[in-house]
Amino acid sequence: MSETCQTACPHCSAAQRIDKSVPVAVAKCHDCGGHLFDGHPILLTGETFAHHLATNTIPVVVDFMADWCGPCKVIAPEIIKTAKALEPHVRFAKVDTDEDQKLAGHNGVRGFPTLVIYKHGHEVARHAGAMSAAQIQAWLKPHL
């Protein structure tokens, strides 16, 4: 029997049940037809954050970042490498803390970048500072 998971569409936010054995390139939203995974973190806002965390049955890794932050620029391509390697077993997202300061504050973000792993809407791990793709994968491994 195939393993399934649920995720929120990054385009329309509709809940989608998918078979994890389906290649990510063909996993599409049944509502809007958009690709569910593309190897890049999705942008979450104060309006979409709680819905995406509650909808996903896979871990959600949120990068709380700022465009002006040097270490954030360093980690961004490492997150993309990790997303391409681990999707659909994990959802990668980012929050622009300049645009959503209240959301960052509510989640206790004090420095950038801050990566937080959420499972079933609850924080299970946190890391502040840049990491390589290999370090991100090792940090994530116990939560997959």
Which residue from 94, 133, 136, 117 is spatially nearest to 10, judged by alpha carbons? 94
Give the burial string for 92-118 (b: 16+ CB within 10 Å, else e). bbbbbbeebeebbeebebeebbbbbbb
What token pair was written down for 61?
Answer: 């890794």
5 is known as an active-site residue: no
* Residue in 5, 9, 29, 69 annotated catalytic: 69
Active site residue 72: yes
Cβ neighbors of 122 (< 8 A, separation 6 or more) are none
Burial call 31-69: b when 16+ CB within 10 Å, e when fewer:
eeeeebbbbbbbebeeebbeebbebbebbbbbbbbbeeb
Q: Provide the annotated active-site residues.
A: 69, 72
